[in-house]
């Protein structure tokens, strides 16, 4: 057992079988319930006797997806009940020194996920000289509901509070508060890019890594009100935070799920605003104050200029959502053309262009490629163009799942980044023989970037579009998929 002193009190962790010090479930803010519901994160109550930090704390309220079929096997959830869920976890090689710090922000469409998933175990980062932190933050309505009054983006404010905790306390865990890298995947990556644009986060981190998410996923206040009003109607309460706070959590979670299904079933811009395009009801709100403009606009105007950035995507992100569900096999050519038009592409030219690089591709394959570019790859490249000196990567390793059809899908890079190929939670995604050399390469690039700001390849420039392509054999590329990229010029 090892004890570390924080500003709130002592915490007692343990030494893992790998010789890493682990501290779990440390509160960085007070429980967001009762009078703290729908308020910015409040300081946690101090404690006077050493606090046990040998097990994960509660996770943000969310529905369990264990019975939802094959997609749930690819992206499992962990639900630990309890109110004190604004907590974080630390892995460190020791409590002395000033090592680089990495803070991971989990994904899950801003409605699910947890920093407490065993898949995010930070032992291999600690083994390699990094202090690794994971955290939980408010999700769904509790984190992102807004009717125009009171503070918006409470989930992001939670993340900022966790980063303030890191600044104030990480030195006791052997970390350097002057060398903090935030990194996240999916909604976590969108959070990373949004934090780059938020004045309240300025100075709390020095480097940023965005995996499969960029700076375009936000909603306007008008759209936030549309979403909130419909949620209140489902719950049969007044469209106010106060009324929704009176609803039992189980009922609120069920209403959120129903709302999500309604958006998917009828993605009307008139009814749902920007949410109609990405079918993600709860997202950061551009309120003009906390978040002055969309993250990509803020970054293009100079926000985050002093922060080193690494951003990238997987080659076939959208296959995670189209293959396990069977949707890819049902896509017809007319549906493919209609989807291209919906994404503001010249339909016939775009489909012809994507087909040229994919001989024998089905309409479902082509739709997956177009959606991958629209939602993931092109926004990442736009951010790299807006932020000088950004490094770009692509993960091209193809999962063998679903008879070799799942491909280099969404989330496939995570076990390699964390070097956790042996974690049972990743087995459905990785199969029997995932390449350790890919984990060695990706994990080391993340460690190197967090340590020095250089992952090991040249930065991306509009006149020299170099990126690292991670695979069983990794190498740099220059303007890979360039003909497809050009199709999006002026459109994303």
Residues that are catalytic: 186, 317, 410
Residue 265 Cα distances to 112, 258, 271, angstroms: 20, 10, 12
Phi, psi of 309 (to 5 degrees): -130, 135
Q: Sign (positive/negative) of CA torsion 52, 248, 71, 356?
A: negative
Can you tell me the distance from the alpha carbon of 483 to that of 174, in angstroms, rounded to the nearest whole number? 47
Strands 475-478 and 466-470: what pairing? Answer: antiparallel
Phi, psi of 262 (to 5 degrees): -65, -40
Can you tell me the distance from the alpha carbon of 217 to that of 180, in angstroms, rounded to the nearest whole number? 24
Residues 6+ away with beta carbon under 8 Å from 245: 37, 38
What is the gyration radius of the CA atoms in the chain, in angstroms? 22
Nearest to 438 by CA among 456, 415, 463: 415
179: three-class secondary structure by DSSP: strand
331's torsion region: left (phi>0), alpha (psi -120 to 50) or beta? beta
* Contact between 192 and 211 (Cβ < 8 Å): no
SS in 3 state form for 283-336? CCECCCCCCCCCHHHHHHCCCCCCCEEEEEEECCCCHHHHCCCCCHHHCCHHHH
Q: Which long-range contacts (CB under 8 A, 24 or more apart) does 352-358 make?
A: 353/483, 353/484, 353/487, 354/484, 356/483, 357/481, 357/483, 357/484
Can you tell me the distance from the alpha carbon of 109 to that of 106, in angstroms, rounded to the nearest whole number? 10
* Contact between 418 and 443 (Cβ < 8 Å): yes
Partners of residue 99 on adjacent β-strands: 175
Can you tell me the distance from the alpha carbon of 78 to that of 89, in angstroms, rounded to the nearest whole number? 15
């Amino acid at each position: 057992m090892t004890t570390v002193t924080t500003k709130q009190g002592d915490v007692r962790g343990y030494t893992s079988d790998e010789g890493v010090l682990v501290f779990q479930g440390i509160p960085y803010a007070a429980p967001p319930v009762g009078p703290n519901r729908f308020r910015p994160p409040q300081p946690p109550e101090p404690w006077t006797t050493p606090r046990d930090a040998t097990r994960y704390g509660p996770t943000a309220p969310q529905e369990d997806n264990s019975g939802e079929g094959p997609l749930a096997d690819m992206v499992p959830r962990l639900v630990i009940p309890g109110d004190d869920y604004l907590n974080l976890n630390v892995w460190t090689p020791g409590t002395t020194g000033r090592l680089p710090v990495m803070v991971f922000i989990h994904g899950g469409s801003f409605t699910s996920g947890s920093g407490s998933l065993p898949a995010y175990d930070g032992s291999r980062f600690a083994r390699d000289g990094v202090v690794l932190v994971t955290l939980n933050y408010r999700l769904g309505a509790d984190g992102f509901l807004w009717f125009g009054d009171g503070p918006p983006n409470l989930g992001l404010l939670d993340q900022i509070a966790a980063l303030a905790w890191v600044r104030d306390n990480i030195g006791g865990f052997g970390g350097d508060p002057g060398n903090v890298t935030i990194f996240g995947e999916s909604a976590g990556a969108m959070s990373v890019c949004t934090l780059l644009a938020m004045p309240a986060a300025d100075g709390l981190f020095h480097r940023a890594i965005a995996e499969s998410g960029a700076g375009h996923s936000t909603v306007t206040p008008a759209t936030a009100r549309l979403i909130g009003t419909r949620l209140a109607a489902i719950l049969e309460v007044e469209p106010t935070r106060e009324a929704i706070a009176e609803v039992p959590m189980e009922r609120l979670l069920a209403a959120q799920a129903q709302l999500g299904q309604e958006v998917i079933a009828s993605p009307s811009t008139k009814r749902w605003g920007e949410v109609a395009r990405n079918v993600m009801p709860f997202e950061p709100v551009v309120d003009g104050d906390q978040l002055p403009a969309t993250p990509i606009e803020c970054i293009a105007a100079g926000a985050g200029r002093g922060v080193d950035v690494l951003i990238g995507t997987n080659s076939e992100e959208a296959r995670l959502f189209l293959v396990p569900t069977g949707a890819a096999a049902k896509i017809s050519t007319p549906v493919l053309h209609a989807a291209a038009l919906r994404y503001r592409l010249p339909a016939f030219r775009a489909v012809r262009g994507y087909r040229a690089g994919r001989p024998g591709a089905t309409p479902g394959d082509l739709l997956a490629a177009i959606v991958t570019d629209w939602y993931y790859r092109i926004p990442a490249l736009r951010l790299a163009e807006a932020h000088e000196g950004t490094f770009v990567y692509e993960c091209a390793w193809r999962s063998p799942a679903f008879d070799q059809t799942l491909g280099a899908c969404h989330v496939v890079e995570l076990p390699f980044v964390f070097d956790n190929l042996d974690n049972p939670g990743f087995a459905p995604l990785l199969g029997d023989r995932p390449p350790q050399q890919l984990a060695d390469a990706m994990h080391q690039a993340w460690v190197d970037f967090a340590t020095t700001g250089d992952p090991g390849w040249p930065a991306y420039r509009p006149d020299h579009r170099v990126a690292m392509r991670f695979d069983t054999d990794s190498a740099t590329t220059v303007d890979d998929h360039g003909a497809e990229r050009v199709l999006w010029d002026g459109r994303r």
